[in-house]
């Protein structure tokens, strides 16, 4: 189960005695503790509707705890932080703006001059392989291209913490694997802490060097699984990968069995 120090100077994220919900009867989190160290890559896996996205929004400052606190880089989270990036399942792109303008949106809001915005947007268009669609609108792009634009729009702001909410779930399997590999390539230097929320166990096993498995609400604890081979390009084709998926599925189902009202919607091949 989770063991969390209440004072960890190496932690990027510290969640302390967190409770969240409108009333005690419908609490999603109750007395929840969790710690994430700088540069770690985490996946949070559990059934649909269990509160995974809520946790991400609490980390992003889009929700406020009922009690307890969330600290990022030592500071209480009281609202959105400039150095926290959030990538959503539905892309969140402005339909009336081109791919290039969507990527540069955050820089524009921050008052960065047009010449610098254009140079940085071009860099990220090139790095994500979407230069050819720079002047197209979201409605003219494939799902994979839209998600690449959303990734570029987030990473152009140089976040130290990257939060991802089911970012690839609506994509076909080939595009999903390509973008999973891309995220690994873009976060290999260890300077960025990443937290991925997913209900897909294979995705969690490939992207999370640590995996937090949670059950149904109210969540007061979870199981942390070490996964040191994650993020290696060939890992998803190895016996160790399938063994890790099986381990995660077993833990997840045991947590669900303990809460009979939780919908069983974890995805894993076989």
Instruction: Tell me whether strands 75-76 and 67-72 are parallel, antiparallel or unpaired.
Output: antiparallel
101 and 62 belong to one structural domain: no
Cα separation, 51 vs 234, in Å, equals 31
- Rounded to whole angstroms, the Cα distance separating 164 from 86 reads 6
**Three-state SS for 259?**
coil
Regarding whether 245 and 211 lie in a shared domain, the answer is yes
CA 263 to chain centre: 22
Query: Are 166 and 63 members of one domain?
Result: yes
Q: Which pLDDT value is given to residue 1?
A: 56
User: Is the domain of 207 the same as that of 270?
Assistant: yes
- Say whether pLDDT at 270 is over 70: no
Is the predicted pLDDT of residue 23 greater than 80, yes or no?
Answer: no
pLDDT digits (tens, 9 = 90+) for 53-80: 999 999 999 999 999 999 999 899 999 8
* Nearby residues of 119 by Cβ (< 8 Å), 6 or more positions away: none
> In terms of domains, do 57 and 78 share one?
yes
Residue 267 binned pLDDT confidence (cut-offs 50, 70, 90)? very low
Alpha helix stretches (DSSP H) within 128-235: 143-155, 173-186, 201-207
Q: Are 215 and 259 in contact (CB under 8 A)?
A: yes
Find where tokens 């994500």 sit: 128
Question: HSE of 217 in the Cβ direction (CA atoms, 13 Å)?
Answer: 19
**Domain CATH code at residue 38:** 3.40.50.300
255 and 128 inside one domain: no
Number of separate domains in the chain: 2
Burial 49-70 (b: 16+ CB within 10 A, else e): ebbbbbbbbbbbbebebbebeb
83-102: pLDDT as tens digits? 999 988 777 888 999 999 99
> How many angstroms separate the CA atoms of 29 and 27, rounded?
6
Domain that holds residue 154: 89-158
134 and 209 in a single domain? The answer is: no
Both 124 and 78 in one domain: the answer is no
| Tokens 């955050």 -> residue | 106
Residues 117 and 41 both lie in one domain:
no
């Amino acid at each position: 189960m989770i063991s969390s120090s209440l004072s960890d100077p190496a932690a990027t994220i510290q969640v302390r005695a967190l409770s969240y919900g409108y009333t005690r009867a419908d609490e999603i989190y109750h007395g929840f503790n969790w710690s994430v160290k700088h540069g770690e890559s985490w996946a949070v896996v559990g059934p649909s509707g269990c509160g995974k996205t809520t946790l991400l929004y609490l980390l992003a400052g889009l929700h406020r705890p009922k009690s307890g606190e969330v600290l990022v880089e030592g500071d209480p989270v009281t609202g959105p932080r400039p150095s926290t990036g959030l990538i959503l399942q539905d892309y969140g792109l402005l339909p009336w703006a081109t791919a290039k303008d969507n990527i540069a949106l955050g820089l524009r809001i921050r008052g960065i001059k047009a010449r610098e915005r254009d140079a940085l947007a071009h860099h990220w268009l090139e790095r994500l392989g979407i230069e050819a669609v720079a002047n197209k609108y979201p409605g003219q792009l494939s799902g994979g291209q839209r998600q690449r634009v959303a990734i570029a729009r987030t990473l152009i702001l140089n976040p130290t913490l990257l939060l991802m909410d089911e970012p690839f779930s609506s994509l076909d399997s080939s595009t999903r694997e390509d973008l999973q590999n891309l995220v690994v390539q873009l976060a290999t230097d260890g300077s960025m802490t990443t937290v991925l929320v997913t209900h897909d166990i294979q995705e969690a096993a490939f992207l999370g060097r640590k995996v937090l498995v949670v059950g149904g609400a109210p969540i007061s604890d979870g199981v942390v699984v070490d996964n040191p081979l994650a993020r290696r390009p060939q890992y998803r084709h190895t016996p160790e990968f399938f063994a890790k998926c099986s381990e995660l599925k077993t833990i997840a189902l045991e947590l669900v069995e303990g809460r009979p009202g939780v919908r069983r919607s974890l995805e894993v091949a076989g």
